Structure 1
Amino acid sequence: MKNKLYWDYCILLIPNKHILNIMKIAFICLFIFISGMFATEAESQNARISLKQTTSVLDLINIIENQTDYLFVYDKKEIDLNRQISVKAQNKTVAEILLTIFKNTDIVYAMQGNNIVLMKKSSESIPVIQQRTVRITGIVTDEKGDPLAGVNVSAKGTTNGTITDIDGRFSIMAEPETILQFSYIGYMNQFIKVGNSTSVTISMKEDTQTLDEVVVVGFGTQKKVNLSGSVSSVDMSTLTESRPITNISNALAGLAAGLQVTSSNNRPGDDNASILIRGKGTLNNSSPLVIIDGMEGEMNSLNVHDIENISVLKDASSAAIYGSRAANGVILITTKTGKEGKLKVSYNGYVAFQSIRPGVLDPVSNYADYMEYINSGYNNSNQALPYSQTSISAWREDNGQNPLKYPNTNWIEDTFSTGVGTNHTLSMSGGTEKIQFYGAFGYFDNPGVLENAGYRKYNARTNINAQLTSWLKMGMNVSGFVGKAEPGNAGQSATEAGEQASVGAFTWGWATSPAMILRHDGRYGGIQNVEDDVSESGNNVLKVLNSTKGENTTRNIKSRFHITLQPIKDLSVTGSYSYEYTEQGIKTIPVFNDVWDFGKDQIIFKGEGESYITEKEYKRERNYMDIVANYNHRFLDDRLGLTAMVGASQEQYKYEWFNVTRKNLTAPNGTVLDAANGQISTGGNMTQWVMRSYFGRLNLDWENKYLLEFNLRSDGSSRFLSDSRWGYFPSGSIAWRMDQEEFLNSTDWLSNLKIRASYGSLGNNSVGNYSAISSYGSANYVLNNGVSTGWAITALANAGLTWEKTKVTDIGFDFGVLDNRLYGTFDWFNKKTEGILIQLPSPLVHGSATTPTSNAAEVTNKGIELTLGWRDKAGDFDYGINLNYTHVTNNVDKFKGEDYSLNGIYMTKEGLPINSMYMYVADRIIQTDDDLAIVNDMLAKNPDAFSQLGGVPQKGDILFKDLNGDNKIDPTNDRDMVGDTNPKHMFGLNLSAGYKEFDFSIFMQGVIGAKGYLNEKYFTSTVQRGYQITKEIAENSWTDGMTNAKYPKLTYQTAVNNQANTLWIQKKDYLKIRNIQLGYTLPKSVLSKVQLEKVRLYGSLENFFTFTGYKGIDPELDDLSYPTMRQAVIGVNIEF
């Protein structure tokens, strides 16, 4: 026989595949503005057969083996193989066919994995009905209430068993104390004690870690159990069921080992996260490649409810098929497609109440206290005091009774409000055997927590797949979205829209004092104390947020058309063409608002200025086409499996922009350029690149135990000159499925054990489009004693410029025990990137032209990844625990020899991690006479001890360490590498539980080992009249007589304490409770009365709790950026 099965596993233990629940989720979407409908291909989870003929049992067995992965095991003496049977099966599962042809015979069958055992009923298999036995009947369904056919129902510890019929019903004789076991491929085993019940209903929970799980890989899919590379799959249910996901990138935090997600900005519409796979592996762009339905794209452009699955390719074996862009890993996203069956409609919606984390920054808002703190700083710097005791006393005596005259404004509380966001997605899917479709429409409104700075988005998607003939299949996938940012979100910066609403809010808000009233009675207020700098009244942050009108609209359309031919058995050829176009238009017109002194009820500043109108337009266009051939066949009596794939692709990308500004609007309400008649200024540029690729993959397996995979990709890029244009990226991997060996077959507790290893080369072409050639630009030169303008070389070329190459070694294993209730994976990796592009030191003879980049640096990342989980179900209660952990270290192996580069406090040097911090080492705050004696002793030994600090430190100042012991503090000898910003440990933990119709989960994520430098404008002991100060600094800074101060004394200006030093370094370790949710699904008995398939109500808390010692806005943010929003959510999922 093809495979050997132990008979004690076979007898009436009959796990079977689930009859496919045809048609899931959906909605009709015919949208004119996206020009049609769109589709991606889906894989059926269950083998199905269509057959209408009279044949023999033997011929039917051969048909099933040829059309599925099943193998039959039987004794020819027991089975009448020549018996003629009439089969009429239209898209039926194998279980359904077998139930029909062996009905009313003495033949039974058992399914174990991919093996089907046929046997004659024995007397032992017929239970002896004793006097105390009772008949137990029931129905078995999936989590959605649909019946499951072929579920094995057995009395635990006996051979007494049966299987469920087409309607999921069963009947079995058992004693009252018997424990019934329910087992089914793709679902978790369940146990129930009979007791006094004679009728039971069992809901089977899907086993998401089943060995038959299919994982999306580059240009195809593979069974997870047969993977020899390192691939993580993201459980989409954790993203779509109950979480208020505003973008996908931020939502991925903590969901997969090796995936480092850092929120860099949370502004609505631009709340993208920084993603690294296995750490920062290069000095240049370290972002992974994102592939959406076969073409590179931006994941945040998607509606999360349209996503079917996400795969993260982490090692060379899995990612090498993408060659020159895969050095930083690959994220594959596949959108949903339709499935055969009746029409089903789904609605997902929620309302989210948004706010910022309490205590963010926490400025001193009591103005009397504020004035005293500022006076203290000026006094410590021997400066005249800016505030009189009269003003201080007046504010103290009023004690908040007259807030219009004596305000005590907390600008954080008055600026950041509570937003109410909503999200709605309506989808429909269905189809016939020949054609299937999926369509969806979504609306998303995210007002955020800053007024006039929200974002709205409309998106649509439609997928169509058509099986035109037995050898021809076609499909299309079309999607689009329109995003609109509010005027305060459009900004006035010429660089990027939204700067004003994010960083600008903090910039302007911090340049105010508590004496400013932000707004009253619809009017904007100014400084209410003449001793303040009244000119700073224009910094009113609410006024700034409302000082712009206009629009910021992004439109995107993306389409993919594909056709698949199957000229012969086991061979398919697919060709596809994809096109994406994105256009962003920004219009900015200033709004001039008056600023009031409410105490005097008069205008301080009149809202006036030079009017103008600015229009900007950004266009991105991408064309992609490929052709891929796949061959899959088994040889040598199915012992040797071969899968081969070869393909070619070409991609073109074009980006262009322009802006026009015209001054002097002739009409106050004018919104077009012709409404102005003043000076015109313009700008613009265009850039493009092209890449052609050839690629292939070969998979071999022997008896599904020994697995080999080889990949090769060749890329040619227009970014490099002809001699260096092509790069070649090979990889290979091997794996051994030890659990398939005979010596482990008798090990009941072992479900899965696989050892794997891979090695290969990846590339990175993230360089400028024209870095390999010289650039020219306008420049001034002297001629005849005059200055003239001409053209000159502004950047020198390096004709030998080529790809960065990353060599990755990965060794790992996967395991599952106790019916996969306990499961896990482990990986060790070594990732070395060579030929990193940097600018080397060059002689001055080059002149002012930029020196060329060279492939000269090397970086190594090493680390481990661990995923560990447990899931189980006992009666109506189920629960699960999933932990993922990543440890990564980083080192610059080769850079500029003894030389280094310094960007502020961040150093790049051989032997150090990327983003190493380089600064003075704080020894102590000088607080006692003994501390001051150290300063005097250094001065006695070297009068120039502190000459390079701009002053001699006094009590309350920071004393730096003299690292080289020469009694002099200087930047050359006394600065040191004091840590880096890279986290060393990253983890995610998900806990879930369910009882009957209730479900609960909590998801947390965190990092350990990262450091941050916090001596910013809002966190410093340097104070200035009219600028905010935090309570943390004000209440813990040194004052005369203190011996345990956390921070130096307040000063107006001091060169000593403003030097970058370790006192301001803080750990950025954190634990975030990303999501807590509680849900309730209405019982099937209730829904059947209103003809609904599913109704689930839930409440959810997103980003509500953060545990950290970091004093900044957020441990994920490096600067004054839009803070992370907490969200309290109420939502509903409905399926018709």
Structure 2
Amino acid sequence: MYKFYTVILCGLKSRVLTKFLLTMKLFCILLLASIMQVSASGYAQMVSMKKKNAPMTEVINDIQNQTGYSFIISSDLLKRTNPVSVTLTNVALKDALDQCFYGQPFDYVINNKTIVITNKRSPALIIPKVQIIVTGKITDEKGLPLIGVNITIKGTQTGTSTDANGNYKIPVTDANTVLVYTLVGMSPQEISVTNRTTINVTLREAQTGLNEVIVVGYGTQVKKDITGAISSIKDRDLHERPITNITQALQGKAAGVYVTMKTGSNNGNEPGANPAILIRGRRSLDAANDPLYVIDGIPINGGFNDINPDDIISVDILKDASSTAIYGSRGSNGVIIITTRRGKLGAASVNYNTYAAIGAIARYIDVMTGPEFAEYKRESRRAAGTYVDGAPDADSKLFEATELASIANGSTTDWQRLMLKNEFRQNHELNINGGTEKTKYSVSFGFMDDKGYNPTQSYKRYSSRINLDQDLGERFKVGVSTLATFSKGNNANSYNTTLVSNPLGQPYDANGMLLFLPTADALQPNPLSDLVDGAVISRNNRFRILSSFYGEAKIVDGLTLRMNFGPDLVENRSGSYFSPNTTYRNLAQSTASVSEDFAFLYTWENIINYKKTFAKKHKIDLTGLYSVSSRVLEATGSSAQGLPLESFEYYNMGAAGTITGISSSYEKWSILSYMGRANYSFNDKYLLTVTARADGSSRFGADHKWGFFPSAALGWNIMSEDFMKNIEAISNLKLRVSYGKIGNTGVTTYSTQGRLGRTQYDFGGSDAFGYRPLTIRNDDLRWESTTALNLGLDFGLLNSRIAGAIEVYQSETNDLLLQKVLPASGGFGSVLQNIGSTRNKGIEFSVSTQNILPKSENGFSWSTDLNLFASKERITELSQGKVSDIGSARFIGQPIAVFYDYKKIGIWQTGEAVEAAKYSSAVGQVKVQDTDGNGKIDANDRVIVGTDLPDLTGGITNRFTFKRFTLSALVIANFGNTFVSPIYENGNNVFAFQGRYNNLNVNYWTKNNPTNDFPQPNNATSGPLFSSSLKYFDGSFVKIKNLSLGYEFDSKFAKKIAAKSLRIYGSVQDPFVFAPYVRNYNGTDPEIPGRPALVTYTFGLNVSF
């Protein structure tokens, strides 16, 4: 991360595939030619000027404008410079600097294209009675030298600074002298000399730096100049714990960002699962609510598992209209900008990162044991009147021989433990980066192998990335970022059958052979049969090439033209096969299916940028954009039944007895965009940002293709006011306000057009086929649009040892795309129209504190990051105006997604038999609330029992360092949400209360156990009345998400293995969760309620050469 430590601005910084391949070929040729160029000496720059008693700022500005070199100088040092009188004509840069800086109270060094000006060192330092000369090197956390670090003797003005290699030298007169090390953007350190002559120091980044560079979309800005609501997550925060994809790293790290693991067929913890992300809640009912993802400047279309998280160096999250309007129609749900590692100046650095992880099952789904199931089965017959206690043949009639033997032996078959195992994951990543002044490169190779706890599930990913930046002379630059990845997933899910399998059954016969039927029940096959090699196959192979090419030209000083081209090629191939001897088919014919899709997305952008400072106080930054994006998707699929051999799998579908389906599809969409943005700053005190973008989309009709999305934002750096200068306790205070309009393009490609469906009719005694309209065409569909207001306050206290932000926001989304119900007489049930609206408002709070600063080089330190946010979404209008749509569970004034159902208030008890009968129920069954009080239970008694999004979400990270140890702890929390536990839903046999299938080990009602928790099982019914009311649970939780402990060896030890640095670490993920669902219902995890809870233990290694 580049720091601006200066009061002077630093330097100006026919088929689509065929066209894509030709473009890549041309670009590679240009890159090859550029790499072969010979670098010119940086000191060959020529300078001409004539000055008389000119201030140093004027001289530096002149040199900067003529050479393009940047200057770093402190404001205090600049004030102490002397006027300059000099005449130069075509003088080399080095000689010009020597003449201009002659007699000045500073030294300078040239590093790359930066001129670092520091206090004069030892020649101007006069200290009598010198006893000790202290030398050393100052580096950052990655071991890179830091230039311009100030080293002062505490309590004096005596000091020096580091040179271009991070080295320093300072004389002291007392062994007890304390040296203070400071650099803007880094946490200061105080170290006692204690007779040492060599003191090497590692400075760590301050928790928040006003000069931190933030990626804002089509450019960057210094944090102190930001007017929008942006959360930034940097390298350290992203990689504090082992992750498999980047979305996991965002959980608990940024206010306003809600990450949920309940995705995928297995509710989120299967290998290769993608968590879902919402930024500031939901706005749309039927269109997408997913944020836009941008990687290295190019918007992408999903597939985050393709990206190796080790390649990512920062993530910036744009949340308000001012920051997202630059992406127009794709910005309404927020924008996540991902930046990957790029090459750095210096010799090649080789880094190897690896870890191995074991996921141990901490809590299984709590189902009944053999004896518990036997009693449960008896109780289900008592309720049905078919089991008589005390009858000599009661059990022999109810249970078959295998069950009776297990009852007699008191044995239990634990199907979960027989099927599941510990998860094992390994990850390896090798990256090489370096570069010269002209050429910088970063190359990485990654491999991840995740063998899930379910033997039928696994995920492998092979990835490589090449990032290259090449200067072509002084004014031209080109570069490329290319990701190539291949992944293989196995996604069969045989776990659910273990939950319902009879615990009195036997998995093997006396010879150890697998029994297909553990009991005489023909509808309960052995779940272990799915583990036989080749019996169950569900594969997904995915190949992707994602690139971004750029060319940049500096037209004149301050004016830059850039071209970006981002092709994204994805191919998926999925196949499945289920043999007859599996729980899926239960001796029926085998089935197979195969599908393949090919997608090509490209983005072409032309960006012009102009930066200029006028009269030292007026700064402008203007950006213009022309962009084209287009995506083509082709897909085919087929399915069959009755393949003759298991070895065919899904590869020989033509040999199947029956082809059950053939499908193919094609879709294409395009977006054309124009954008302009203006940033203005007056005296670094008053800030203005104005953005406007126009998008034209092929998804809409001719009269509504274009949408216009403007925004504006104001910022006031209150600390720049004179009345704040004497308030030492406050180090930063900035007020921000933004307002704008953004759009949502997350609708299906052909929404405006009517669809046709195939129909069959009789023609002369034979079947004939035709087509009929399925939906009504609507050319008047237009963009969903969101207007958003954001108020923000950035603060820093005690020299930014306490720093954070408060955001308050409200958004209104109008013209929602909803189906409007039509009269049945018209032949169509509904038509898609723009007829709804929602409101979303909330508050966010984030703070970073440096609780304890290190007192010595390896002293103890403690820092904390905390973020909290509360968000409320409400529906304000639907298809019938201010009238709720009860059939779709959408209610005016309520959240977008709610659970609308009967409310359980207990179980009918023995003394309530008459009252229960009035409600057509019985003792032992679920008692629900008679909401309208009319003496009967019907659909009008349903109520809103909760919503899936929490009222309050937060995360806190504590970091501790001592000597070479680092310890971090991440805690996340949700409060106020409701979730549906899939294992408590009737219809999946896990919770049927019939006494046939095994059930959850719940506290159910009996005459001897008159509980109000769960109803009495009854074999005479398909399930309890109002059983749907039993599936809702409080989703609140506090979870210790991760604990990580690391140790970095000193350089002497690292050198023994020919390394520059060596670090080892261990971590524990999800060790503890505190939640009502776990405490009261023996649940596993409210984040992933349908699966066992895992605790993952990881050991890792980072080594650099």
TM-score of the aligned structures, taking structure 1 as reference length: 0.84
Change (3 A) 1:716 1:607: closer
Change (3 A) 1:649 1:541: farther
Any conservation in 1 of the 2:366–2:1082 contact (CA below 8 Å)? no
Change (3 A) 1:522 1:60: farther
How far does residue 469 in structure 1 lie from its aligned partner after superposition? Answer: 2.1
How far does residue 127 in structure 1 lie from its aligned partner after superposition? Answer: 6.3
Change (3 A) 1:763 1:545: farther
Q: Distance in 1 between matches of 2:1060 and 2:90?
A: 35
Tell me which residue corresponds to 1:1085.
1052
Tell me which residue corresponds to 1:441.
445
Q: Distance in 2 between matches of 1:74 and 1:586?
A: 65
Q: Distance in 2 between matches of 1:897 and 1:1060?
A: 33
Q: Distance in 2 between matches of 1:1087 and 1:86?
A: 49
Tell me which residue corresponds to 1:1134.
1103
Change (3 A) 1:463 1:195: closer
CA deviations over 1:175-232 (Å, ceiling 9, x no partner): 4444321111231111123445454332212225221111111111111111100011
Aligned pair 1:891/2:905, yes or no? no
Aligned pair 1:312/2:317, yes or no? yes
Tell me which residue corresponds to 1:962.
930
Aligned pair 1:587/2:575, yes or no? yes
CA deviations over 1:347-373 (Å, ceiling 9, x no partner): 1111111233x33321112x1321111
Tell me which residue corresponds to 2:747.
767
Give the partner amino acid of 1:882: D
Aligned pair 1:259/2:229, yes or no? no
Q: 1:656 aligns with which of 609, 634, 638?
A: 634
Change (3 A) 1:157 1:1062: farther
Any conservation in 1 of the 2:530–2:582 contact (CA below 8 Å)? no
Q: 1:880 aligns with which of 843, 857, 863?
A: 863
Q: 1:1075 aligns with which of 1030, 1039, 1042?
A: 1042
Tell me which residue corresponds to 1:3.
none
Tell me which residue corresponds to 2:985.
1016
Q: Distance in 1 between matches of 2:762 and 2:120?
A: 103
Aligned pair 1:715/2:695, yes or no? yes
Q: 2:377 aligns with which of 374, 379, 385?
A: 374
CA deviations over 1:382-434 (Å, ceiling 9, x no partner): 345899535879999978997xxx85112222222112211101111122211
Change (3 A) 1:50 1:173: same
Change (3 A) 1:98 1:740: farther
Tell me which residue corresponds to 1:992.
959
Q: Distance in 1 between matches of 2:548 and 2:669?
A: 20
Tell me which residue corresponds to 2:1074.
1107
Any conservation in 1 of the 2:994–2:1023 contact (CA below 8 Å)? no
Task: Give the secondary-structure state (helix, strand or coil) at the position aligned to 1:1104.
Answer: strand
CA deviations over 1:911-940 (Å, ceiling 9, x no partner): 2112222222333323353x456x17xx7x
Q: Distance in 2 between matches of 1:54 and 1:410?
A: 83
CA deviations over 1:520-578 (Å, ceiling 9, x no partner): 88843344444xx2441255564489522475311111222221122211111111222
Tell me which residue corresponds to 1:326.
331
Give the partner amino acid of 1:755: L
Gaps of 5+ in 1: 1-13, 21-33, 42-47, 490-497, 596-604, 940-944
Q: Distance in 2 between matches of 1:145 and 1:781?
A: 76
Aligned pair 1:857/2:836, yes or no? yes
Q: Distance in 2 between matches of 1:107 and 1:312?
A: 41
Q: State the aligned residue count.
A: 1038
Change (3 A) 1:201 1:335: closer
Task: Give the secondary-structure state (helix, strand or coil) at the position aligned to 2:204.
Answer: coil
How far does residue 682 in structure 1 lie from its aligned partner after superposition? Answer: 1.6
CA deviations over 1:832-864 (Å, ceiling 9, x no partner): 1111111122111221x3522111111111100
Any conservation in 2 of the 1:1097–1:1133 contact (CA below 8 Å)? yes
Q: CA RMSD in A?
A: 3.9
Any conservation in 2 of the 1:720–1:801 contact (CA below 8 Å)? yes
Q: Distance in 1 between matches of 2:408 and 2:927?
A: 44
Any conservation in 2 of the 1:509–1:541 contact (CA below 8 Å)? no
Any conservation in 1 of the 2:992–2:1022 contact (CA below 8 Å)? no
Task: Give the secondary-structure state (helix, strand or coil) at the position aligned to 1:159.
Answer: coil
Any conservation in 2 of the 1:260–1:277 contact (CA below 8 Å)? yes
Q: Distance in 2 between matches of 1:75 and 1:309?
A: 36
Any conservation in 2 of the 1:517–1:524 contact (CA below 8 Å)? no
Give the partner amino acid of 2:251: A
Q: 1:913 aligns with which of 876, 895, 900?
A: 895
Give the partner amino acid of 2:934: D
How far does residue 336 in structure 1 lie from its aligned partner after superposition? Answer: 1.6
Any conservation in 2 of the 1:516–1:525 contact (CA below 8 Å)? no
Any conservation in 2 of the 1:655–1:688 contact (CA below 8 Å)? yes
Task: Give the secondary-structure state (helix, strand or coil) at the position aligned to 1:362.
Answer: coil
Query: Sequence identity, in percent?
Result: 27
Any conservation in 1 of the 2:47–2:88 contact (CA below 8 Å)? yes
Task: Give the secondary-structure state (helix, strand or coil) at the position aligned to 2:525.
Answer: helix
Give 1:998-1037 correspondences, 5 Å limit: 998-1014=965-981, 1015-1017=984-986, 1022-1031=992-1001, 1033=1002, 1036-1037=1003-1004
Tell me which residue corresponds to 2:514.
524
Give 1:630-669 correspondences, 5 Å limit: 630-635=609-614, 637-662=615-640, 665=643, 669=647
Q: Distance in 1 between matches of 2:890 and 2:780?
A: 24
CA deviations over 1:1054-1105 (Å, ceiling 9, x no partner): 5894315655432111122221111111101222344322111011112232
Any conservation in 2 of the 1:377–1:1051 contact (CA below 8 Å)? yes
Any conservation in 2 of the 1:803–1:835 contact (CA below 8 Å)? yes
Task: Give the secondary-structure state (helix, strand or coil) at the position aligned to 1:873.
Answer: coil
Any conservation in 1 of the 2:322–2:712 contact (CA below 8 Å)? yes
How far does residue 892 in structure 1 lie from its aligned partner after superposition? Answer: 0.7
Tell me which residue corresponds to 1:828.
808
Change (3 A) 1:75 1:566: closer
Tell me which residue corresponds to 1:1039.
1006
Aligned pair 1:1052/2:1019, yes or no? yes
Q: Distance in 2 between matches of 1:438 and 1:799?
A: 49
Change (3 A) 1:993 1:136: same
How far does residue 1040 in structure 1 lie from its aligned partner after superposition? Answer: 1.5
Give the partner amino acid of 2:385: N
TM-score of the aligned structures, taking structure 2 as reference length: 0.86
Give 1:618-629 correspondences, 5 Å limit: 618-629=597-608
How far does residue 292 in structure 1 lie from its aligned partner after superposition? Answer: 1.5
Q: Distance in 1 between matches of 2:831 and 2:1084?
A: 38
Give the partner amino acid of 2:617: R
Q: Distance in 2 between matches of 1:173 and 1:85?
A: 44
Change (3 A) 1:126 1:664: closer
Any conservation in 2 of the 1:1093–1:1135 contact (CA below 8 Å)? yes
Q: 1:288 aligns with which of 291, 316, 323?
A: 291
State which drifts further: 134-143 or 288-297. 134-143
Q: Distance in 2 between matches of 1:827 and 1:542?
A: 52
Any conservation in 2 of the 1:16–1:152 contact (CA below 8 Å)? no
Gaps of 5+ in 2: 11-23, 35-40
Task: Give the secondary-structure state (helix, strand or coil) at the position aligned to 2:457.
Answer: coil
Task: Give the secondary-structure state (helix, strand or coil) at the position aligned to 1:1087.
Answer: helix
Any conservation in 1 of the 2:352–2:429 contact (CA below 8 Å)? yes
Tell me which residue corresponds to 1:927.
909
Tell me which residue corresponds to 2:38.
none
Any conservation in 1 of the 2:325–2:742 contact (CA below 8 Å)? yes
Change (3 A) 1:464 1:1004: same
Aligned pair 1:389/2:395, yes or no? yes
State which drifts further: 814-823 or 274-283. 814-823
Task: Give the secondary-structure state (helix, strand or coil) at the position aligned to 2:782.
Answer: coil
Q: Distance in 1 between matches of 2:365 and 2:98?
A: 68
Task: Give the secondary-structure state (helix, strand or coil) at the position aligned to 2:524.
Answer: helix
Any conservation in 2 of the 1:368–1:392 contact (CA below 8 Å)? no
Change (3 A) 1:88 1:409: farther
Aligned pair 1:271/2:270, yes or no? no
Task: Give the secondary-structure state (helix, strand or coil) at the position aligned to 1:835.
Answer: strand
Q: 2:720 aligns with which of 737, 740, 747?
A: 740
Task: Give the secondary-structure state (helix, strand or coil) at the position aligned to 2:854.
Answer: strand
Q: 1:952 aligns with which of 921, 931, 935?
A: 921
Q: Distance in 2 between matches of 1:396 and 1:1027?
A: 13
State which drifts further: 465-474 or 1002-1011. 465-474
